[in-house]
Amino acid sequence: MQKLKFSPSLMTALTALTITSCSTATTEQYEATALTSYTWQIKYANNLTSESQPRIETFAKTSVLNRNGAQPLGKVIGPDDRGLWWPTLPPKPSVDKVEQRKKPQEEAGKPELLKDVEYQISYGVGNAQKTLPTNYDVYRQVVKAYPTRTPLQLTLGVNDNSVEKAEPVSK
């Protein structure tokens, strides 16, 4: 059995990459949003059962922006079991609209209602303001910390392009 050998320079480079790829930021200025959406879509293809990549058409879409867990203005549904508010359902596409987008020789699938959430966090460090994508866990941590403005330590993702974790910091 052959042993793998790692040179000291390779180990140094890997360690440096690991250290520089994620960083942290501590902030008392933050806001989390969750954009909840419903979208109707339909798949079209010459043969829906055998075609691996059918054409997808998007129809009506409705969205609601959740801020820090508070109930959004307007007509919304919720909160759900994850504390999110949802828009009312968009109108289902009519048979006429489905047929209008159908090309010759194609068949149309059944309308599918997609449910989606996009999470973001905006935060300030010094004079800089950043908005980055995040996940449900970070959103919930901000929702819990927001009323008291508890400082948060944010763990940023690779190249500081996302927020992977948020933890309260004692004042």
Model pLDDT for residues 85-113, shown as the tens digit of each residue: 999 999 999 999 999 999 999 999 999 99
Q: What pTM value is reported for the model? A: 0.82
The answer to whether residue 40 is domain-embedded is yes
Average pLDDT, the chain: 90
**pLDDT above 90: percentage of residues in the chain:** 84
Is residue 9 situated within a structural domain? no
pLDDT at 10 exceeding the cut of 60: no
Is the confidence at residue 17, as pLDDT, over 70?
no
The predicted structure's pLDDT at residue 97: 97
d(CA 97, CA 83): 35
Residue 79: inside a domain, yes or no?
A: yes
- Picking from 3-7, 66-70, 163-167, which range would have the lowest pLDDT averaged per residue? 3-7
Residue 18 domain-assigned?
no
DSSP, collapsed to helix, strand or coil, labels residue 137 as helix
Domain encompassing residue 47: 24-168
Q: Which residue has the tokens 């339909």?
A: 42
When pLDDT is averaged across residues 144-170 and rounded to a whole number, the result is 96
Domain count, the chain: 1
Task: Count the alpha carbons within 13 Å of 131 in the hemisphere toward its beta carbon.
Answer: 7
Residue found under tokens 């987008």: 101
Peptide bond into 79 cis (omega under 30): yes
**pLDDT score, position 4:** 47
Cα–Cα distance, 29 to 10 (Å, whole number): 39
Residue 70 lies in a domain: yes
